[in-house]
Chains A and B, each alone.
Chain A
Amino acid sequence: MGRKALKPTEDWEADVNSTKDLGEQLAKVCLETASRDNATYADIRLVNTVIETVSMINENPASEESNDLGAGIRVLYQNTGWGFASTDEVDPENIRETTRKALSLARGAAKIGSRLTLAKEPTHVASWESPRKKDSLTVPTETKFEVLEDATSRMKAEGVVARRSQIISTKIEKYFANSEGSRIYQDIAQTGAQIVVAAKGPSGIQRRSEQQYALEGYELIDAMDLPGKAPVLTKEVLELTRAQGLKEGRSDVIISADQLGLQVHESCGHPIELDRVLGYEANFAGRSFLSPDQLGKLQYGSEHVNIVMDATLAHGQGLGTFAYDDEGVESQRKYAIRKGKFVGYLMSRGTSQSVGEPRSNGCMRADTYQLPIIRMTNVSLEPGDWDYDELIEDTKDGILMVANYGWSIDQKRYNFQFNCEKGYRIKNGSIGELIRGPGYSGITPEFWNACDAVCNRKSWTLWGTPNCGKGQPQQVMGTGHGASPSRFRNIRVFGAS
């Protein structure tokens, strides 16, 4: 490059009393540099993240708080090549150099790229704070340890071999600016918790767990009542060590809301990611069976199946809820599946026009140091009409599948297999015998077309999935999935050995 080496700037003190003010200062440097060096388009995200993790495993406590501040800069050169560079040194000199690095990558990409057009998006100048009743990061660590110690101590029992509990509190401040004039500040609070109990018995090691992650404050932890749940899960896991397995065969199944949320994630959320469809993920995450020629035509599921992509607050406080995505597109609500028909993709400004959509629906997301890619927002199965009790009463012979244990699906998202922690036989409208490790499998469109009942809003929950992996190097993102218990007819079921 021939540039002189940067002089150390460790004495430069970032004013992070205000991420927004610092973001404005650095955005000016970035966008001026990009403009001077003939970028077609540029954007910068300054992200300030604080995460506190408090855990108990058996008698052993662990706590950690991390605070990270960095910037990601994306540049488009001659409408042909993208470049992205990130840095944790957020001083003007380094932002200028990081912008040039992104430009250099963009110029290289432009040599072997093809013409790109960004879908139009209004210019946004906005500030947004996610709702929270009790800031989880200001709740003393000691209080969290008390809750976790209480929960793990209530899981002690003969046969129990592992007791785990964890509370994670996150605050993300993002300042976004682009060369089109958007200036967006968002302050996002997320909280989550998990408890796990494992026991050993005649059938080997069994597990019961419960978790939830949401765009909330510590009120989520209060509502979860981990100490109250601990003895219930412990009783169940001990029963599972003596419970029967499930013989392979076909059966009607009712899938609990938490398990169905993951089913939506894997078999609908991923195949509607337009970057997969266009081949940008073919080497790792894979492609999709939902090719553009199927849009508006394929009967993906039965008429009871309505799946929305909804990042708006009106949908709920999920891990996929925000005001603007990471390329400055306002959050939206769109259908992916309507009355069973496949009607929409998760898109970005660079991809929406390939399927005839003039505007992105706002699905570009990334952590601080990585290039935004298309991610799920909240991808949710809309509630149906059935009361849960009525659905059970209406089922003559079936299996109720509860709480995910393992999940797997092919790279085009057709062939899936899910294993659950527990199940119950349903006979003549009543829940009966407990089953350990039940599983079910199928082919995605056949499975969703076998759906004949979806429960109503009374049993609908917006679940948080904190660990969705995609991209190279792999990026991890939180997504939201609303679901209520639903029934599927004549599904292949089986059990652990």
Chain B
Amino acid sequence: MSQSLQKQIPLTERGHRVFDMVRKFARGAEEIEISLISTTGEYLRFGNNELGQSQSTKNRTLSVRLSSGKKQARTTTGRLEESFIKKAVEKAVSQLKTSPEDPDYLPMLGQQSYQTVSRYHTRTVEESAETKAGYVGRAIELARDNKLLASGVLGTSVDEGLIINTSGLESHYRGTGGYFSLTMDADNGNQTGYALSTFADISELDAPKVSETALERAKLNKAQMEVQPGKFDVVIDPHAWSEMLFFFIVSASAGYSPDFGTRQYKEGRSYLSGRIGEKIMGENVILEDDVYHPLQMGPPFDGEGYPKSKLTLVENGELRSLASSRISAHRYQDAKPTGHELPLPNPLGETPTNLVIRGKGPTRTTEELVGELDKGLLLTRLWYIREVEPRTKTLTGMTRDGTFLVENGEVKRPVKNLRFNQSLLELFSNIEKFTEPVRNTSFTGTAVLEPGVLAKDFNFTSVSPF
């Protein structure tokens, strides 16, 4: 069995049929937009050396946005039969009458042209569950042979989306994705090792390498010593910290609102407000939003169908630019749309969706970074990260699944897990060396390309009993 057993009506064809139905029922609406999203996934989830939670999921969502004057309303349905579409549209028509005017409303976007991105890989779709179960089975076998327990997931997904509106816009995207995340552990989680690989094309997956990395780290991460919390130089593995880097672009201070958007910046909601042109991190750091990067995922257009531009958000450590949209360009004379709007209506503001974080100059491998660390810690996974203070972007979180003491460029022994309270901006002022960025998926599902780093003075504040 594979994910290719889907009904064969193309989404674009179905989308046009649906759009015709919506137009028929949307009485009183001056403008109409539909977005039709289809998501299928197959996940082989295992734990305790058993393949216990395998699942296959499929669902589609039709979202209808109607507008009249400066009023707009959106309804969503998971059903594509005419009676359900009628009901959803009638609800939107009813909401349209009673919604307050949106002072930022702009007429819908007309026809656009997009740079092609090629992100649909047939093999990811057609790979059989048996073959994928084989990858998992071998990981479990390896764990058993070494008296360890394997747990994790091998998942593949197909995302397809279509936006059509009455101004002539038609935006279509489909892409595949997947990941193999593996933990091997023993002694009730006191001994653990972790590895992750993400892919768009499952041919990229080197499953034995993922298994070997998790095994190697688990075998090493035994009988940990306790180190006193304090400042340590660190090497952070490139797969260790996507959750932490997510906080570059989102703040808890205004209720989990994105920070790199023009509207938030101008309204003073962002921790970056007033800091364009200011050096906010080290000169060797480049922070970009680039949907066209070959390792990135997702469509080349935003939530209203506007083409995405590549943005250089931080260069030479200096805050250079922000994500923007048609609304911002309409509100503020110095803003131009960059294709970073969320589906409308969107009072939150714009946000980067395809972060690429990299260093200037030659890169190293993670092993080379460890080799260049005189004394410090190798961090293989950071976990449960939350904002403590927005101005300095101070974050707290824990290490897990393998934290190792490094001396004279060699991994000496494992240490017990540590809590950190660390300013992200300060950390990015203390990075000395980088690896090439790798693709990761953050816990919100967006793709982040992130490097491994060697950084000075990472601030640990307490220690766990394991």
Q: Which residues of A contact B (CB under 8 A)?
A: 1, 3, 5-6, 8, 10-14, 16, 55-70, 81-89, 97-98, 101-102, 104-106, 108-109, 111-114, 140-142, 145, 149, 161-162, 164, 194, 196, 198, 200, 204-207, 209, 275, 278-284, 286-289, 291, 368-371, 373, 405-412, 414-415, 417, 419, 437, 439, 441, 443, 469, 472-474, 492, 496-497
Contact = CB atoms under 8 A, between A and B. Distances in A.
B87 interface: yes
Given A59-B103, A410-B400, A86 B183 contact: no
A65 B101 CA distance: 18
A21 to B, nearest CB: 16
8 residue pairs, one from A and one from B, having the closest CB atoms: A57-B347, A280-B47, A287-B189, A60-B347, A68-B78, A142-B98, A204-B391, A66-B76
Contacts of B383: 286, 410-411
A369 B59 contact: yes
Contact of B419 (A12, A275, A369, A410): A410
Contact of A1 (B1, B103, B136, B391): B1
Which DSSP category, helix, strand, loop or mixed, fits chain A's interface? mixed
Nearest to B101: A61
Nearest to B179: A472
Nearest to B82: A13
A25 B79 CA distance: 18
A212 to B, nearest CB: 15
Nearest to B188: A291
Which DSSP category, helix, strand, loop or mixed, fits chain B's interface? mixed
Interface string B98-141: 11101110000000000000000000000001100100110010
A56 B348 CA distance: 10
A471 to B, nearest CB: 8
Contacts of A140: 98
Nearest to A293: B188
A63 to B, nearest CB: 6
A186 to B, nearest CB: 19
A235 B58 CA distance: 48
Given A109-B54, A161-B268, A282 B183 contact: yes
A162 to B, nearest CB: 4
B3 to A, nearest CB: 10
A291 B48 CA distance: 14
B142 to A, nearest CB: 13
A84 B43 CA distance: 10
Given A64-B75, A108-B129, A279-B149, A406 B252 contact: yes
Contacts, number: 333
Contacts of A194: 255
B268 A279 contact: no
A439 B395 CA distance: 13
Given A108-B133, A205-B390, A281-B151, A62 B347 contact: yes
Interface stretch (B286-294, B317-325, B458-466): B458-466
Contact of A473 (B43, B77, B189, B255): B43
Contact of B52 (A87, A113, A287, A441): A113
Nearest to A405: B252
Contact of B57 (A85, A111, A283): A85
A63 B253 contact: no
A112 B51 contact: yes
A168 to B, nearest CB: 14
A207 B253 contact: yes
Contact of A63 (B45, B74, B88, B462): B74
A282 B189 CA distance: 7
Contact of B464 (A58, A279, A412): A412
Nearest to B88: A67
Interface in B2-61: 5, 7-9, 14, 41, 43-45, 47-48, 50-61
Contacts of A55: 347
Contacts of A108: 44, 51, 54, 129-130, 133
A85 B55 contact: yes
Contacts of A104: 1, 129
A105 B42 CA distance: 10
